[in-house]
Structure 1
């Protein structure tokens, strides 16, 4: 990996990238970040390109991309594969939209159950517990 001025120790690299040292090592084990050669009798050094790569990974994670998806995006990082990158992003967008729809269904069911709990009178069993025991609402909400 050619980084120009490779002068950062792993600790300084982690700090510059806004992560901890174990995150750097984890990314190396996952193949998201190359481990530089260790000169005889010295320590590994990292550079600005490494910092940029870790920031890319963290930005992609904040958008919901898995590490495997990020690895695929990193293969396209030269910027000439916009169509392929767009396809990966469109797939992620559909996944997020599906999850949002599931969350909306769960919210609606739980809202109804909470309202039923608040409106119950007397010695009636709890609507939430009864519903969960029947398993009806959890299926309707798309729960796993």
Structure 2
């Protein structure tokens, strides 16, 4: 039996190497390593030079990915992970964190809408073609 086959036989059913973990979670290997480095994910067990992940690690990484997709910062994700372990009594703190994040998202959406209006107007002025100078360049140059 070759070394790889022996290593596979020695692993429990929950053990998965980083490539399998990446495929099962949809998270890039580099991102997984980064999350480990900054403490978002715990250091996995190792067998030789191979990182080994368990089924419970999948849930944690999916949680992290989903929180990041919703725009939470890494510090906010850390706080959410900590609060997730505290049970129902932490629900108020989670709500406060999510509420503050929602306000930030709404501010960014308002900023994006303002940008959209300015760009729409500039593009429409370009389409009209009646100006000597480029309306978009003029808009970007305006104080």
Indicate the TM-score class for this superposition, using the shorter chain for normalisation.
Answer: 0.7 to 0.9
Q: Map residues 95-114 of structure 1 onto 2, 5 A cutoff.
A: 95-114=104-123
Match of 1:133 among 113, 132, 141: 141
Runs of 4+ in structure 1 deviating by more than 6 angstroms, as ranges, are: none
Structure number with higher helix proportion? 2
Alignment match of 2:29 (pick from 21, 35, 40): 21
Matched residue count: 130
Structure 2, unaligned runs of 5 or more: 1-11
Alignment root-mean-square deviation, CA: 2.1
TM-score (normalizing by structure 2)? 0.80
Work out which of the residue numbers 39, 43, 47 in structure 2 matches 1:31.
Answer: 39
Match of 1:60 in 2: 67
Aligned partner of 2:80 in structure 1 is 73
User: Which of 53-62 and 74-83 deviates more?
Assistant: 74-83
| 1:48/1:118 CA distance change after superposition, 3 Å | same
